[in-house]
Chains A and B, each alone.
Chain A
Amino acid sequence: MDYTITSIAPIILLPFFAFVIGAFVVSKSQKLAVGISTAAIIGSFLFSLRVFFDFVFGKYATNYYIHKYFTWFDISSETQEFVVNMGIYFDNMSAVMMLMVTGVGSLIHVFSIFYMKEDKRVGHFFVYMSLFISAMIGLVLSDNLFSLFVFWEIMGFCSYSLIGFYVKAEGAGVASLKAFMTTRMGDVFFLLGILSIWTTIGSVTYVDIYKAIHLGEFNGITALGMPLVTFAGLAIFMGTVGKSAQFPLQVWLPDAMWGPTPCSALIHAATMVSAGVYLSLRIYPLLDAGGLTTIVAYVGAITAFGAATMALVQTDIKAVMAYSTISQLGYMVLGIGVGAWNAAFMHLIAHAIFKAALFLSCGSIIHELHDHHTHSHVQEMTRMGGLRKKMPITFMVMLFCTFAISGVPFFSGFVSKDRILGDALLRATESGTFIPVAILGFSAAFLTAFYMFRMMFLTFFGEPKDKDLYHHTHQEHLSITRNVPLIILATFTLGIFFSGSLTGQGFVKVFPKDHGYEWFQTLIEKPDGKNYLEHKKQLFAFEDVKPELELRHGHYDPNHGMDEHQAHHSHAVHGWGAIMSIIIAFSGIFLSYSVYYKKRFSPDFFVNRVPGYYKALRNKYYFDYFYIDILIQKVLFGLNNLIAFFDMGIYDRYVVDGWEKVNKVCFKIAKRFDDSVIDLGVDFTGFTVKGGSSLLKVVQSGKVQLYFIIAIVVVAGYIATLLYGGI
Chain B
Amino acid sequence: MHGLLSWILWMPVIGLVGVLLIPKGKDQIVRYFSLVNTIVTMVLSGILYMNFDNTISGIQPHLMERVPWIEQFNIFYYLGVDGLSLPMILLTSLLFFICILSSWTITKSVRAYFALFLMLQASVNGVFMSLDFFLFYVFWEVMLIPMFFLIGIWGGENKEYAAVKFFLYTFFGSILMLVGMVALYYVTSDPTTGLGSFDLIGLKGGQFRHLTVPIFGYELPFNHLFFIFMFIGFAIKVPVFPFHTWLPHAHVQAPTAVSVILAGVLLKMGTYGFLRISFPIFPESTVYFATAIAVLGLINVIYGALCAMAQNDMKKLIAYSSVSHMGFVMLGMSAMTIQGMNGAVLQMFNHGTSTAMMFLLVGILYERSHHRWIVRPDGTKGFGGLYTQLPKYTVVFIIAMFASMGLPGLSGFISEALIFIGMYKVYTTITVLAVIGLLIGAAYLLWMFKRMFYGEVIDSVKGYTDMNGREIFYMLPLCVAVILFGIYPTPVLDMMKASVGDLVRLLGSF
Query: Chain B contacts of A1 at CB under 8 A?
Result: none
Q: Is A726 a contact of B214 with CB atoms below 8 Å?
A: yes
Assuming the A-B contacts A75-B497, A77-B338, are A170 and B310 also in contact, with contact meaning beta carbons closer than 8 angstroms in the complex? no
CB contacts (< 8 Å) of B111 on chain A: these are: 685
Q: Which of B21, B306, B443 contacts A644 (CB 8 A)?
A: B306
- Are the C-beta atoms of A157 and B407 separated by less than 8 Å? yes
Known A-B contacts A191-B420, A199-B421; A180 and B504 likewise in contact (beta carbons under 8 Å): no
Q: Are B501 and A670 in contact (CB under 8 A)?
A: no
CB distance B112 to A167 under 8 Å?
Answer: no
* Known contacts A670-B164, A685-B115, A689-B23: A78-B454 contact under CB 8 Å: no
* Cβ-based interface call for B288 (8 A): no
Interface assignment of B385: CB less than 8 Å from any CB of chain A: yes
A28 smallest CB distance to B (angstroms): 13
Residues of A within 8 A of B508 (CB): 79
B164 touches A669 (CB 8 A): yes
B442 touches A181 (CB 8 A): yes
Q: Using Cβ atoms and an 8 Å threshold, which residues of chain A touch B383?
A: none
- How many chain A residues touch the partner (CB < 8 A)? 86
Binding stretch for chain B, among A389-397, A556-564, A708-716: A708-716
A404 to B164, CA, bound (A): 72
Q: Which of A75, A657, A671, A722 has its CB near the most chain B CB atoms (within 10 A)?
A: A75
Tell me whether B28 is interfacial, beta carbon within 8 Å: no
Cross-interface CB contact of B175 among A74, A174, A685, A711, cutoff 8 Å: A711
Q: Is the CB of A724 within 8 A of B186?
A: yes
In the complex, what residues of A have CB within 8 A of residue B398's CB?
161
Q: Is B396 part of the binding interface, using a Cβ–Cβ cutoff of 8 Å? A: no
Check B188 for interface membership: any CB of A closer than 8 A.
Answer: no
A153 partner residues in chain B, CB cutoff 8 A = 407-409, 413
Q: Let me know if B160 and A670 touch, CB within 8 A.
A: yes
Question: In the bound complex, do residue A722 and residue B24 qualify as a contact, i.e. CB atoms below 8 Å apart?
Answer: no
The answer to the question of A686 belonging to the interface, with a C-beta cut-off of 8 Å to chain B, is yes
Q: Interface of chain A, helix or strand or loop or mixed?
A: helix
Chain B: number of interface residues, binned into ranges? 35 or more
Bound CA–CA A170/B449 (angstroms): 12
Residue ID in chain A nearest B497 by CB atoms: A75
**Residue in B306, B409, B413, B435 whose beta carbon sits within 8 Å of that of A188 in the complex:** B435
Determine if B112 and A681 form an interchain contact, defined as CB atoms under 8 angstroms apart. Answer: yes
Known interface pairs A188-B439, A682-B112; A644-B497 also in contact (CB < 8 Å) = no
A639 adjacent to chain B (CB < 8 Å)? yes
B residues near A726, Cβ cutoff 8 Å: 214
Contact with A along B69-89 (1 / 0, CB 8 A): 000000000000000000000
A643 at the interface (CB under 8 A from B): yes
Bitwise, A299-326 to B at CB < 8 A (1) or not (0) is 0000000000000000000000000000
Would you call A613 an interface residue if the criterion is a C-beta within 8 Å of the partner chain's C-beta atoms? no
Contacts of A185 in B (CB 8 A): 439
Q: Which residues of A contact B310 (CB under 8 A)?
A: 637, 640-641, 643-645
Residues of chain B in range 194-218 having any CB-CB distance to chain A below 8 Å: 213-216
Interface assignment of B471: CB less than 8 Å from any CB of chain A: no
Q: Give every chain B residue within 8 A of A199 (Cβ-Cβ).
A: 421, 424-425
| A196 partner residues in chain B, CB cutoff 8 A | 424
Assess whether B160 is in contact with A685, with CB atoms less than 8 Å apart.
Answer: no
Given A168-B455, A719-B179, A674 and B152 contact (CB-CB distance below 8 Å): yes
Q: Is A169 part of the binding interface, using a Cβ–Cβ cutoff of 8 Å?
A: yes
Interface centre among A643, A684, A711 (most CB of B within 10 A): A643
Complex Cα gap A712–B179 (Å): 9
Name the interface residues of A163-182: CB closer than 8 Å to any CB of B. Answer: 164, 167-170, 172-174, 176-177, 180-181
The 5 closest A-B pairs by CB, nearest first: A77-B501, A173-B454, A644-B310, A640-B310, A150-B408
Known A-B contacts: A188-B436, A192-B435, A667-B161. Give 11 more (CB < 8 A): A27-B391, A73-B414, A77-B500, A80-B501, A80-B504, A174-B450, A185-B439, A195-B421, A195-B431, A199-B424, A719-B183
A-B contact list, 9 entries, CB within 8 Å: A153-B413, A177-B447, A177-B450, A636-B309, A643-B307, A648-B248, A678-B153, A687-B20, A719-B179
Residues of chain B whose beta carbon lies under 8 Å from any beta carbon of chain A: 19-21, 23-24, 57, 109, 111-112, 115-116, 141, 145, 149, 152-153, 160-161, 163-165, 168, 171, 175, 178-179, 182-183, 186, 213-216, 242, 245, 248, 303, 306-307, 309-311, 337-339, 342, 385, 387-388, 391, 398, 402, 407-409, 413-414, 417-418, 420-421, 424-425, 428-429, 431-432, 435-436, 438-439, 442-443, 446-447, 450, 453-457, 488-490, 493, 497-498, 500-502, 504-505, 508
Which A residues are within 8 Å of any B CB, using their own CB?
27, 73-80, 82, 146, 149-151, 153-154, 157, 160-161, 164, 167-170, 172-174, 176-177, 180-181, 184-185, 188-189, 191-192, 195-196, 198-199, 223-224, 636-637, 639-641, 643-645, 647-648, 651-652, 656-657, 666-667, 669-671, 673-674, 678, 681-682, 684-689, 704, 708, 711-712, 715-716, 719-720, 722-724, 726-727
